[in-house]
Structure formats: structure tokens, C-alpha cells
């Protein structure tokens, strides 16, 4: 379904797929920052 949106010529299908991809990256980036932040706090505590 997502591949069809990316390969399709219709831009109205392309934009939602691109937005979904961006939202996914943003979600993983926030999780990564949270984990790194927690790790930094733990190492400072020691």
C-alpha cells in the first residue's frame, strides 16, 4: 500500500506516504534521544 503511494504518479498519494515516513523517523529520533538522555543521567550519577 505504501509502495503504491510512492511509485504512483498522483502526488496526493505521494505526500501522505512521505509524511508517514517523516513521522516514523521523528518517533524513532525522540525515542533515541530519550534513551541517550537516560544513559547520560545514569553515567553522571556514578
Residue with cell 504518479: 9
* Overall pTM > 0.75: no
- Mean predicted confidence (pLDDT) in 5-10: 53
CA–CA dist 34, 11 (Å, integer): 34
Could you tell me how many residues make up the chain? 46
Residue 19: predicted pLDDT: 87
Span 20-46, pLDDT tens digits: 899 999 999 999 999 999 999 999 887
Residue with cell 530519550: 34
Binned at pLDDT 50, 70 and 90, residue 15 comes out as confident
Amino acid at each position: 500500500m505504501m509502495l503504491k503511494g510512492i511509485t504512483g504518479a498522483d502526488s496526493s498519494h505521494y505526500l501522505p506516504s512521505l509524511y508517514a515516513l517523516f513521522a516514523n523517523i521523528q518517533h524513532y529520533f525522540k525515542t533515541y534521544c530519550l534513551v541517550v538522555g537516560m544513559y547520560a543521567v545514569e553515567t553522571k550519577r556514578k
